[in-house]
Structure 1
Amino acid sequence: MNPLRSIRRLGLLFALCTPLWLAGCASPQPQDYADQTPKLDLREYFNGDLTAHGLFTDRSGAVKRRFTVKMKGTWQGDQGVLEEDFLYSDGQTERRVWRLTRGADGRYTGQADDVIGTAQGQAAGNALRWQYTLRLKVDDSTYDVKFDDWMFLMDRQVMLNRAAMSKFGFHLGDVTLSFHKP
């Protein structure tokens, strides 16, 4: 077999497969869910009392921590406050207060004392992608960890959340939450 012909065939195969491989690497975007219902409006869902149940899994999938969150949301126009009180299965407690702002085109921003900078979010249809860096305290150390949250409104009472955690581009684990609104 002619070596030059083999190289040309490999080059052609590479050229044909590269766009398919790159398309497979593309991550979902909020607009991919624009036609999904029920439509998510954070001002409506995170208004009043809510409860969430969650767990943290390491990168191998092992459950490392379980928790419950009692929340209360209040809004005045496009400005909201979401108070979160965490109770972990080991008895530890934690409090986070988000200050949220609704912008144009389903965009949201948020700040909290343990969030570095400003969280950015985009809602479309029943989904919200929420990205931020959280300063986590672990034992006697603190780490700045990136969160890439996806929230999906299932019905008027239930929303599911999955968040990928990473540091320096390395996947650390995931947080899974189920929000319940009375």
Structure 2
Amino acid sequence: MDTLLTLILGGVLTGLALIVAQRYVGFRSQAAADYTDGPPIDIRTALSGPILCEGVIYGPTGKVSSRFVADMHGRWDGNKGVLSEDFRYDSGSQQSREWRLTLGNDGAIRAEADDLVAPGTGQQTGSALRLDYTIRLPESAGGHALDVTDWMYMVENGTVVNRSQFRKYGIKVAELVATMRKVDA
């Protein structure tokens, strides 16, 4: 009986340690306040005009499962903007999305797109921006709803580096890393 109790207690403690580690270490532990220094990000400038986006998607095992290039174009009227994206994947498939963005005076962000389950919310602070939303994958990709956290980081030359994690039932199923650079029109 002592051995069974020891195993159960060990499992509970391991589970608690994992929960604490996820909250305070790694991707999920980031906060907007962590990025008050560095070149400031303003999505009205960073995501305006023609943009070239290049990236990779990692599957649940950590191996690259897809590569993509996207032509993006952002346009803003005050604090309301539209970001159009046209993706080309290494598989030959293509995908388009149009984000409708609203930036609050306090840096709060509201994001809408046709494949989101509900509007996304986020915050831009200092040199970073965080956006949380739930996306519904196309039927050809299973139609699953995934919880997404996007972190975008401004770097000195004006490039935005995007890192996103996709989760189902709290388990990471994919990660995306991409750069977004303005291009001449």
TM-score after normalising by structure 2: 0.82
- SS of the equivalent of 1:83 reads strand
CA RMSD of aligned residues (A): 2.0
Match of 1:172 in 2: 173
Match of 1:159 in 2: 160
Bigger Rg, structure 1 or 2: 1
Q: Which runs of 4+ in 1 moved over 6 A?
A: none
Match of 1:137 in 2: 138
Distance in 2, matches of 1:94 and 1:22, equals: 37
Identity of aligned residues (%): 33
Distance in 1, matches of 2:141 and 2:47, equals: 33
Query: Is 1:123–1:129's contact at 8 Å kept on the other side of the alignment?
Result: yes
Match of 2:115 in 1: 114
Structure 1 residue runs of 5 or longer lacking an equivalent are 1-17
- SS of the equivalent of 1:116 reads coil
Alignment size in residue pairs: 163
Displacement after TM superposition at 1:166 (Å) = 0.3
Distance in 2, matches of 1:38 and 1:140, equals: 37
Distance in 1, matches of 2:142 and 2:31, equals: 34
Distance in 1, matches of 2:58 and 2:21, equals: 28
Match of 1:32 in 2: 34
TM-score after normalising by structure 1: 0.84
Match of 2:79 in 1: 78
Structure 2 residue runs of 5 or longer lacking an equivalent are 1-15
Task: List aligned pairs for 1:118-129, cutoff 5 A.
Answer: 118-129=119-130
Query: Is 1:40–1:124's contact at 8 Å kept on the other side of the alignment?
Result: yes
Distance in 2, matches of 1:110 and 1:169, equals: 22
